[in-house]
Amino acid sequence: MLRSVSRLPANRGGFYLFDEPTSQIDESATRDVLAMIRAISNTHGVLVVSHDQELPTGAHTLLKGR
């Protein structure tokens, strides 16, 4: 997962979708993934889909399902 996330900016896309990016990884890896996503979000559009209630800290917009 980390290797995939770290390659994203090289693809030069304008928008990235992360579906459950922190599921099945430990706390240390979660911090690393979130740091990379935050860095990517400075220059690209990012949408993160997650069931983790604590994940959206620092999100610009939060959409909640029912």
Q: Is residue 59 part of a domain?
A: no
Residue found under tokens 């990235």: 16
Q: Is residue 24 part of a domain?
A: yes
**13 has pLDDT over 60:** yes
H helices, E strands: number in the chain: 2, 2
Q: What domain count does the chain have?
A: 1
* Cα 46–Cα 39–Cα 3 angle in degrees, nearest 5: 85
| 8-state DSSP, 55 | T
pTM to 2 decimals? Answer: 0.71
Q: Which residue has the higher pLDDT, 55 or 3?
A: 55
The domain of 19 spans: 2-49
Q: Is residue 45 part of a domain?
A: yes
Give residue 50's pLDDT band: very low, low, confident or very high (50, 70, 90): confident
Q: Is residue 54 part of a domain?
A: no
